[in-house]
Every structure is written in C-alpha cells, then in structure tokens.
Structure 1
Amino acid sequence: MKSGVYFIGAGPGDPDLLTVKAYKILQQADVILYADSLVPKQIFKDVKPTAELIPTGNKTLEIIVPLMIEKVKQNLTVVRLQSGDLCLYSAIYEQMIQLAEADIPFELIPGISAYQAAAAKISAELTIPELVQTIILTRVSGSASPMPEKEELKGLASHQASLCLYLAARHVHKAQKDLLEYYSADTPVAVCYRVGWEDEKILIVPLTQMAKATEENNLIRTTMYIISPALKKLSDYEFRSKLYHPSHQHLFRPK
C-alpha cells in the first residue's frame, strides 16, 4: 500500500459496518489518528501490533495536519479515522487543503452514516412511494458551526420530507418547536443515541415527545433524530412501488 493519508469513515460505531476496503487499510496502517470520543476501541481489534494509535480529541488542526505530513514523509501509511461518513460533518475539507498544499497524497474511503444504520435497525425505508421521496440531512446552528440562514431548520421542515437531524440534542426544544410548524404532532421521530455502540438506544416517539424523550433519557451527546411519516407502522401503508408491479414495463421486463 502506498504511503499517504487515507481518510476513512468508521461508520457509526459497529466495527462490522466498516467497508471491506476500510478494514483492509486499517489492517496495514502504520499510524492511525482517530477521534477518540466518537470511534470505539473495537474498531482497532485487527490493526498491526506495531500500529501507532493517536487520539485527536484534545488536538487542534495545527497539531494534527503537520503530524500526518511528518509521518507520510517518513514513508508511513497514515489513516485519519473519522466517525460516520466523511461527507457529513467530518471537518476534513480544511485538512485536505493543507495536505494538497504540502503535496501529500490522500484518498477518501466512505463509511456508513448514523442515519443509515439507524434506519436499518428500526426496519425503515425513508422513501415510501406517494408518501415521501426526499431525505434531508441537516443539523441545527451551533457556536462552532453556524447554519447558513437559507438552511435554517424551519425552512427545511416546510418540505415535510424524511428529515435526519444531527447535532441537535442540546437544542431539542427549539428544534421540536420549529418542526411542529410543518409536521403533524403525531409524526414519528426516531431518537437515536450512539447508534452501533454497545449502549445504543433508539426510541420512537411522536414529534410532541421528542424533547421529553431526550431529556428523560439524558441523551445529551451523539444523538441523531429521524423525523418522517415513513416511520409509521408497516401495516399503515397502502402504497406500492411501481418498480416491481406486474403492470410496469421496462428494458429488462418488456411487455
């Protein structure tokens, strides 16, 4: 394997949800920098005994990036292990810019996002024909990452799509209030805590109970919400996809 930096999405927590490619790279890595509060130790069970594991929860970018550059220049294979999937809230954009400026090769290996793992755990398809066909992945404004005004939660809620809300537990009362302006009070919400970890907890409650369920269970960090009419009981649906309907013809199933 070539020396360089491999950004890997570790998934939500379950080591079995690593991609095969991610698993193979981790087995060969010389240095692994990981977000220690978000990546469980089980992920490292098959790494090389000589692999250097470097937690980064207490480090800034000014330390992390030069460290990766230094290790690559020593002809070592470096993994930057992120939780979930790299395309969502992973803060790798600025890391890639600095690596490119230093002429350090890097590659991205995607991972499973928490919303995908949670939907699978509760046996949900978030796009039901004639009910909802759009998934919105978003968060609420925070001090470190304010939201663009055009992407405020209230505006996104107006679409009444399947909405996956990250990083919102500390602002759950305001989030619930904004959502209720457009979603019906009985819209199901999956409150998902540490999906894929040993202490995982998933509660499905009406939208009006979203904040209460969060507080009663002390779900402050690592909590994601899925708000969607698609979370109703399977028996409540009368919809059917046209894709496998006998009346639907296409290239591989002509009339």
Structure 2
Amino acid sequence: MNKVHIVGAGPGDPELITVKGQRLLQEADVIIYAGSLVNPALLDYAKAQCKIYNSASMTLQDVVEVVKNAVADDLQVVRLHTGDPAIYGAIQEQMDEFKKLSIDYEVVPGVSSFLASAAALKQEYTLPEISQTVIITRNAGRTPVPEKENLKSLAAHNATMCIFLSVHMLNDVVKELIAGGYKEDTPIAIVQKASWPEQKIVRGRLNDIVGKVGKEDITRTAMIVVGECLDTDYALSRLYAPEFTHMYRKGTDSEGK
C-alpha cells in the first residue's frame, strides 16, 4: 500500500513549500488540506484528476476515513498542513490513528510562519548579547496552556518570543507579558499572513501596540513577535570577527598579524 505524506505547506507563498512537498502534491491522487489556513493556490500543483478535500469542515474520523479508503485503493495521499506540521498542526492524533490502522506515513517538514515572519520583518531573532533563545508559544484560549507555560511565566526570560494563535487576545497578551517582566517599551511586531500577497506588518511597543492593531482590524492569521531583537544595538558575531580563530579560518593575533 502507498504511504500517507503529511506535508508542511509553508506559510502561504506557494513557492515556499519544499521541493519534495511540491512533488508530492503533483503526484497525489488525494489531497486533504487545512482549508482555514493553507493558501489554496498550492492546490494548483495538483493534477486534474486529483480528489481534494477541505479538512476545515471535517472531523478527525472524517479525515481518517478518507485516508483509509484511499490507501486501500492504493492511491497516493497528501495531508497538507500549514507551515510546519509539527507546530500547532494537530498531527499527532492523526498519526496515532494511522498507526492503529497499520497505515504507513511520512512527515515532510515545511517553513513555519514564525520564520516567515522573521523574513518579513527582515529580522534575526538571535542577536549576540541580546537574545539567544526563541520561545514559540500561544496564549491560553479554547485550548488550555499548562500553568508553567503561561505567558507571564515565559516572559520572565525576556527572550525573543513568537506567539501563535493569540492576536485576537492581544490586550490580554500584552498585560501578561508586562506582568511577567517585559518592559512596557519592549518592541513588538504583528505580522498578518506572512509571505501572502496581503501580508501586513504593524510595529510598536507593548504600551501602544493594541491601539495600532485595532486600527488595522487584525483579528486572526497573525504572528506576534516580541523582544529587544526588534529594535536595539547588538554585538557583532564572533564568527566573522577578523581576530577570531575557528576550524575553517585562522584569526589575526592581538597585533593584527
């Protein structure tokens, strides 16, 4: 039997899917895509006779049933998720069901929206002497967050933070971040639909971002990025310093020789 391919679609731009992901879409007989988030332009890669399902209106069992029947008919199946499937993709429960049914599967990674947001912002998240840690998280909503992982607790690190699925609760997010230890003037950016044609960026500080975003009517499909990396002086990397020696290059000594 054919295996199921769980494919990361990337953040939106159809050209940001991996070469392997694109090939699998072109070869697929059945595609089940996350219609609430995946750019439908990616479906243009599918062949004319491919059967396409939008999982936005399906339950877990609906998805599994389509996969089971397709694999039984020896068809090639792609389960297309937004970004990278491992981040808020709800794929574990699907893989566990496939295991129960002895359906073989493979996961093909993709470009996550938190990385596409960095590209849109033209920003490195891990600046020397500013932040060497990136926290990927979300605010508690209909899906709870473990108490030890709430925003207030994570904010104590003052690291670069990328917050998914929370822009509709931005006021609460800001309050938690400040209560946890970020200064009120900490830089923050909201990137809506990173890499899409309608991409929108709003920059500000924790103490003014809510008002700025309210004027732009951004309520979903947006990444929240917070941290000093967004607007600060930083140390240059030692990797390219002329005096720094590493296994590929000998640096100059203290006298510049």
TM-score norm. by structure 1 comes to 0.95
1:182-241 C-alpha deviation (Å, 9 max, x unpaired): 112222111011112222111111111222223221111111100011111xxx525111
CA contact (8 A) 1:169 1:214 kept: no
| Counterpart position of 2:168 | 170
1:108-147 C-alpha deviation (Å, 9 max, x unpaired): 001111110111112100001011110000001111x200
- SS of the residue 1:50 aligns to: coil
| Counterpart position of 1:241 | 237
Aligned pair 1:160/2:158, yes or no?
yes
1:1-20 equivalent positions in 2, closer than 5 A? 3-20=2-19
2-side partners of 1:215 and 1:186: how far apart? Answer: 18
1-side partners of 2:145 and 2:155: how far apart? Answer: 15
Deviation, 1:250, is: 1.4
2-side partners of 1:111 and 1:210: how far apart? Answer: 30
Aligned pair 1:250/2:251, yes or no?
no
For the structure 1 residues 238 and 67, does the alpha-carbon distance in structure 2 shift closer, same or farther, using more than 3 Å as the test?
Answer: closer
1:14-33 equivalent positions in 2, closer than 5 A? 14-33=13-32
2-side partners of 1:185 and 1:146: how far apart? Answer: 26
1:7-86 equivalent positions in 2, closer than 5 A? 7-86=6-85
1:83-232 equivalent positions in 2, closer than 5 A? 83-143=82-142, 145-181=143-179, 182-232=181-231
1-side partners of 2:242 and 2:71: how far apart? Answer: 57
2-side partners of 1:238 and 1:87: how far apart? Answer: 31
- SS of the residue 1:154 aligns to: helix
How many residues align? The count is 250
Letter in 2 for 1:39: V
1-side partners of 2:217 and 2:165: how far apart? Answer: 15
2-side partners of 1:213 and 1:78: how far apart? Answer: 43
CA contact (8 A) 2:192 2:201 kept: yes
Aligned-pair Cα RMSD in Å? 1.2
Letter in 2 for 1:217: E
TM-score norm. by structure 2 comes to 0.94
Q: Stretches of 4+ moved more than 6 A in 1?
A: none
